[in-house]
Amino acid sequence: MAVEPEHHPISVSEASDLAKSTLRRTGTLCVIGEVSGFRGQARGGHCYFEIKDEEATLAAIIWRSTYERLGFALEDGQELIMYGTFDVYKGSGRMSFVISHAELAGEGQLRQQVALLAKRLQAEGLMDPARKRPIPKFCERIVVCTSYSGKVLHDVEQTLARRNPLVAIDTVECAVQGPTAPATIVRALSIAAKAKPDAILLVRGGGSLEELMCFNDEQVARAIAACPVPIVTGIGHEPDTTIADMVCDLRASTPTAAAEQVAPAIGELIDVNATRGRRLKRALAACVSELAQRVESLGSRPCLASPFALIEERSHELDLTEERLFSAPGHLIDRHARELDHMSVRLDSAARRICTVPSARIERLGASLTALSPLSVLGRGYAIVRSDDGHVVTSIQHAAAGDALTIQLVDGGIRTQVIETQEGRIDS
């Protein structure tokens, strides 16, 4: 190939400088691409990797100072929106895109926003476990905050009805997706709190990160933290935890699991009541036994077992004294007679005092025993109903038509058979 005479040869260095100046004239570019070949920071803290799309690959550089300002760590596969300029490294002639600023694109950007907000709220103490309140073990009334469309509300109601139909349910509708959802959630929580339930369920049936962004809203998080009623979340999005889940008092993986947290099974309640009944019975028996022992101990004292024994002993002593006085001179007899009269008066007073206090105590203890006796309750018209196996029947659930029962009354028992069971009061 012939060289045109007007073209003068230039050095490699000059060619590199020319390329470098030409590329710099393109100015700052905004490029979107995927991180590839990232191996962390080099010894000097700078990052060297590639950015690519489906058709091309570019070498990229982020200087140490720029990387430290990003606010997130680079990883292979991240999609970035990058601002920077092209440059040529003179030593190798390699062209690189020097990134001056970068941010995550798409879902990665959303995750970055959520992470930054979560970090800030955590620093304020909104996620502190010490701030969170325990959910009542036996909730009698709850409020469900969710969308009325879909199956979520139906699933929660079905779960509560199955586990414990005694739990009362109120509902407040709110949007659980879209730009207007945060405001409706904050409003729903405020309405629910004014009803003063035992707990509030904030539930939704899962979705993508973008769909769940209303539960990563700062105002929603602050409304949950400020709510005077314990809140259980069931967002139904197990892989990711929303900020609402982090701030609430208890997080459940699904709406159904959230309902189970506030509705103890009816069988568990029956077992707890039975256990407490047995403990109460043992405590009552121990109390009665202790009182009986105290009464027996008091009754064994000489002053109570034989109240007049002390008087008889003193009387015998007086008789002996009288015998001695008969043999004494007259002035001694008079003196001892006066002493005898004085002692007689004191003895009479002491006898009344000794007998009165124990007698009154015995009457009080006897009255206490009578009040604690189950027979006194039966005497007021109550009865104890037992099944054939000896268990006390406390509910119509424990008896069926045809069952044989024993009714214990104050003066005896009645054997009977169940004709039918009926809820509520049965008029005679």
What's the rounded mean pLDDT across residues 316-323?
A: 75
Grouping H, G, I as helix, E, B as strand and the rest as coil, residue 394 is: coil
What are 88's strand-pairing partners?
95
**Residue 49 belongs to what H/E stretch?**
strand 47-52
What pLDDT does 248 receive? 94
pLDDT digits (tens, 9 = 90+) for 246-299: 999 999 989 999 998 888 777 666 777 778 788 888 888 888 888 878 877 766
Residue 106 pLDDT more than 70? no
Give, in degrees to the nearest 5, the angle at Cα 219 between 214 and 223.
105
What pLDDT does 247 receive? 94
Q: Taking the domains of the chain in order of start, what are their residue ranges?
A: 12-105, 128-264, 268-372, 377-428
pLDDT digits (tens, 9 = 90+) for 163-222: 888 889 999 999 998 889 999 999 999 999 999 999 999 999 877 777 888 999 999 999
pLDDT digits (tens, 9 = 90+) for 4-50: 556 678 888 888 888 888 888 888 999 988 899 998 888 889 999 99
User: What is the spatial distance between Cα 309 and Cα 140, in angstroms, rounded to a whole number?
Assistant: 64
What pLDDT does 142 receive? 94
Q: Which is nearest to 64 in space by CA: 41, 39, 86? A: 41
- The CATH classification number of 12-105 equals 2.40.50.140
Fold held by 128-264: Rossmann fold (3.40.50)
Grouping H, G, I as helix, E, B as strand and the rest as coil, residue 84 is: strand
